[in-house]
Amino acid sequence: MRHRHVQAVERRIMKTHQGHRARKRFGQNFLHDTGVIQRIIDSINPKPGDNIVEIGPGLGALTEQLFQAAGLLNVVELDRDLVERLQHRYVDEQNFHIHSADALKFDFSALAAKKNLRVVGNLPYNISTPLLFHLMDQIDCITDIHCMLQKEVVNRICAKPGEKNYGRLSIMIQLYCQPQQLFTVDSAAFQPPPKVESAILRLTPHLQPPITIKDKTQFVQLVSQAFNQRRKTLRNSLKEWLSAEEIEACGIQATARPETLELAEFARMSDAITNKLSSDE
């Protein structure tokens, strides 16, 4: 019984860093490895005048260096205890702005009235995909994104057609950005250590869209349907929208599987569906 009590105390200690206990519901794992921190800062390369917004500053592992380099910083933090710590630490700084808010609902474009944003964040792994999609919806006001994610998610984002990790997430991020995995981060760099390996991802918005799409909503629906049962051929997964002959007319084999297709091929099928629906009206 005593042994269990000691283990419970040790677990609580492991989850506490700088006097703050990590909250599982917020997906909190605090980066503390100074070598990793410096490597991230070097990758971001913040400059004076940069309009940087940090998502989930937590205990401020990156925050101070970002602020000192840029001279201006916006941070978005959901945990009210951490907001209070930040307010106390930067109480006299006029160019340090704290937004106590949920990043999933935050209007990042409101911070880009004068200059596009550079987004930085150790994104909570439990909401990383919807948060990335939320940022993609506002990509027109973003210069670049540097974020920490689960390595598996980064591999999926960076995957190319024909690779086993290639799927809906790859396509929907690459539609807006050029992804680049910079380096991996071991779990020991965090307190408490996560159960997965992490990686730093750089997303650079395309200057020109890689493809043109007549109906973006239709494109999203098509990609989702195609990968809903990824082992099915296009002939079977898209039969409610396009016949095998109509798929072939797009220059794509009806027997192909979705993980082999490039963005442009999905765009051609999406436009074919849009044209077909328009002609039926």
Q: What is the DSSP string of 45-57?
A: ---TT--EEEE--
Residue 92 lies in a domain: yes
- Nearest Cα neighbor of 167 from 268, 257, 272 is 257
Q: Indicate whether 129 and 40 sit together in one domain.
A: yes
Residue 211 lies in a domain: no
Q: How many domains does the chain have?
A: 2
For 114-146, letters b (16+ CB in 10 Å) and e give eebbbbbbbbbbebbbebbebbbebbebbebbb
Q: Indicate whether 172 and 141 sit together in one domain.
A: yes
Residue 68 lies in a domain: yes
pTM for this structure?
Answer: 0.87
Q: Indicate whether 138 and 231 sit together in one domain.
A: no
Residue 210 lies in a domain: no
The pLDDT, as a whole number, for residue 226 is 95
Q: Indicate whether 75 and 137 sit together in one domain.
A: yes
Domain boundary among 172, 205, 238: 205
For residue 194, count CB atoms less than 10 angstroms from its CB and return exposed for 0-12, middle for 13-18, buried for 19 or more: middle
What range does the domain containing 230 cover? 216-280
The pLDDT, as a whole number, for residue 18 is 42
Q: What is the pLDDT of residues 114-133, one digit of tens each?
A: 899 999 998 888 889 999 99
Residue 149 belongs to a domain with what CATH number? Answer: 3.40.50.150
Q: What is the pLDDT of residues 185-238, one digit of tens each?
A: 998 888 777 788 999 999 999 999 999 999 999 999 999 999 998 889 999 999
Residue 158 lies in a domain: yes
Q: Indicate whether 123 and 83 sit together in one domain.
A: yes
Q: Indicate whether 26 and 142 sit together in one domain.
A: yes
Bridge partners of 191, per DSSP, are 30
Q: Indicate whether 177 and 269 sit together in one domain.
A: no
Residue written as token pair 């539609």 = 175
**pLDDT reading at 258 higher than 80:** yes
Q: Indicate whether 201 and 225 sit together in one domain.
A: no
Q: Which one-letter amino acid corresponds to residue 55?
A: I
Contact present, 165 and 156 (Cβ < 8 Å):
yes
